[in-house]
Amino acid sequence: MAKRKKKNKIIVELDLPKDDSTLTKLYAILFVSILLGLGTAIVWSTNSGFIPTANGEPMFTNVYCGATATDSMGNSMGAQFQTNQKPSYAANESCSILKDKPDVVSWTGEEWTSVYKRGKNFDVPGIDSSQTGGVAVAQPLWANCSVSADIPTDYTIAIRSQDGVIIDYHNGTTDNDNNPDNDGCAMMIPNIPADNRYEFLAFSNEEGKFLSKVTFDVTVHYFDGIPANMNNASFWIGPEVSIGPVDIHPFIFLNFFGLTFFFLLYPASYYWERVEGAKNEVEEKFPDFLRDLAEYWKGGLSMTVAVQTLATSEYGALNDEVKKMSDQLSWGIKFSDVIRQFADRVGTPLVQRAIALIAEADRAGGKISDILVTAANDSRELKFLEGERRRAIGSYIAVIWTSYFVFLGVIVTLAVVFIPAIAGSNSSGEDGGDSGGQTIGNMTIRNIDPLFFLTVFYYGVTMQAVGNGTMAGLMSTGRFSTGFKHSGMMILVSLLVFNFLAFTPNLIGITEVPGLNPSSGAFVPARLYFGG
């Protein structure tokens, strides 16, 4: 009995046309970017001072701290932020975003040699209880030291007030052979009173014996009474972030102004430009496809066979569309319907016009090869003219970008060099009246606020970016999406330049951290008196 022949399975790849999700993605991006834009706009407006408040503090901190501030016992302190008076130091300390965080001030690199009795004075900056409404602020001090001598020698390292009060001390004995002692030469003072001058002292406690070398460093956690994340004028500057050797404040309220326009303009325009770029790549290969299709038609092939043959050719971004048309023709779909669906998917005027011409010729039964060649030549000529336009307009786009960089450079130079110089020359003095400044004859030049001018400069640069970028895009392609993409890139450039060059501590109102100011020369101190 003959064996039954096994039938081969026939696999049909049905690449059916799918719904175009381009607009759905665009609407989703628009929705998210508008939310982000509105969010950053709210943060900026509630911190910029444009919305006045009764206590003069930013609305942002009033609202947040009014809802979340609690003292150490868990009692609400929100009412302190709803009055017409500035919040007290205790109220600021009860809010997580306004707690006064310490700055670290250090005295390092000090080395003394051949020491019998030696001392130096240094300052401890800070605030006292009269500035904090009676709240005691603890400022800890750490001192690390290393002492060596030719022979074992008893020594004392101490910190003493200028009134002779010993704040803390360490007694130790050096090791042999000038090795630093290993007895833990260090001091830790939990709270050293601020705004006083102290003495750092080193003594050899044995007659006739000298300490070969004394090295030490002193570190103090300094509190200035200004809420964290705020400057000395109660504007929001956010936390400091270190990027390599540069410290920046990326969450300063000014950045949110630029980010508002960036989120509203750039994400959707960037996506749409990518869509348009993909369409342009299809259009670039479309004339070649029409020309090859005409050649196959002239060679006697049907449209179905011609398209199926061309599906194996290389047309770059058009490959997927040719493959899809080939599959549709293999399913028995009419050629006129296939090319109309192709035109709908691409959706550009150039393709739709050429396809409409070809479909009409196919319906009328004319010599379609001539129509294909004509459509190919027409499409190629249009793409050539578009390229010519881009090349001609390119120089104007370069001029717009160059002018923007020049404007940005001038503004940053004014902000970094000119404004601080004027502010420094007009600093308060005896002749400046109650508002500081300088007096020339009967004219008083008032003090200027660098942050005010920096704010005006930054707003101007951002609006210049929006205007210049929009015009550059309209000149380039005639589309607002191209213009908004240019605007977004210009805004991003201004954000980076201002954050790394212009938003310096002296310009954004950060109080300069005072040092410990050790005396330049040493002195011979009196022996320690422990009482008794």
Per-residue pLDDT tens digits for 207-251: 889 999 999 999 999 888 888 888 888 889 999 898 888 889 999
Cα–Cα dist 439/432, whole Å? 6
Q: Are residues 223 and 134 in the same domain?
A: yes
**The pLDDT of residue 1:** 47
For residue 137, tell me if it sits in a domain.
Answer: yes
- Do 432 and 426 contact (CB within 8 A), yes or no? yes
Q: How far is CA 379 from CA 280, 293, 322, 342, 388, in A?
A: 12, 14, 17, 16, 14
Mean pLDDT of all residues belonging to the chain? 85
Lowest mean pLDDT among 226-235, 363-372, 393-402: 363-372
For residue 185, tell me if it sits in a domain.
Answer: yes
pLDDT confidence band for 432 (50 / 70 / 90): very low
pLDDT for 348 beyond 70: yes
**Kind plus residue range of the DSSP H or E element containing 109:** strand 103-115
Q: Are residues 89 and 117 in the same domain?
A: no
For residue 148, tell me if it sits in a domain.
Answer: yes
Tokens linked to 177: 């052979």
**The pLDDT of residue 5:** 56
**The pLDDT of residue 491:** 97
Of 136 and 93, the structure prediction assigns the larger pLDDT to 93
DSSP state, 477? T
Q: Which of 254, 197, 245, 251 is nearest to 220 (CA)?
A: 197
Q: Are residues 115 and 173 in the same domain?
A: yes
**The pLDDT of residue 41:** 96
Q: Which of 191, 185, 195, 190 is nearest to 158 (CA)?
A: 185
- Do 46 and 53 contact (CB within 8 A), yes or no? no
Count of domains forming the chain:
3
Of 529 and 401, the structure prediction assigns the larger pLDDT to 401
Chosen domain end from 227, 253, 268: 227
Which amino acid would we find at residue 25? K
**The pLDDT of residue 490:** 97
pLDDT for 437 beyond 90: no
Q: What pTM was computed for the model? A: 0.80
What CATH number is attached to the domain comprising 159?
A: 2.60.120.380
pLDDT for 368 beyond 60: yes
pLDDT confidence band for 433 (50 / 70 / 90): very low
Q: Which residues contact 65 (CB under 8 A, 6 or more apart)?
A: 77, 78, 81, 87, 91, 92, 94, 95, 97, 98
Burial of 68: CB neighbours in 10 Å, binned 0-12, 13-18, 19+? middle
Q: Are residues 217 and 116 in the same domain?
A: yes
Mean pLDDT throughout 247-261?
94
Tokens linked to 289: 């496809």
Mean pLDDT throughout 476-504?
94
319-330 and 303-310 helices cross at what angle (nearest 10)?
140
**The pLDDT of residue 222:** 87
Q: How far is CA 253 from CA 52, 230, 305, 355, in A?
A: 16, 10, 64, 53
Of 275 and 299, the structure prediction assigns the larger pLDDT to 275
- Do 466 and 430 contact (CB within 8 A), yes or no? no
Q: Are residues 63 and 138 in the same domain?
A: no
**The pLDDT of residue 141:** 95
Q: Are residues 115 and 223 in the same domain?
A: yes
Q: Are residues 71 and 153 in the same domain?
A: no
Give me the domain span that covers residue 342. Answer: 303-385
Tokens 């705004």 appear where?
195
**The pLDDT of residue 182:** 56
Q: Are residues 115 and 219 in the same domain?
A: yes
Strands 141-148, 443-445: pairing is unpaired
Mean pLDDT throughout 306-314?
84
Q: How far is CA 133 from CA 130, 370, 431, in A?
A: 6, 93, 32
Q: How far is CA 2 from CA 5, 9, 102, 117, in A?
A: 9, 21, 96, 118
For residue 131, tell me if it sits in a domain.
Answer: yes
- Do 7 and 216 contact (CB within 8 A), yes or no? no
Lowest mean pLDDT among 1-15, 338-352, 407-421: 1-15
Q: Are residues 132 and 157 in the same domain?
A: yes
Of 281 and 200, the structure prediction assigns the larger pLDDT to 200
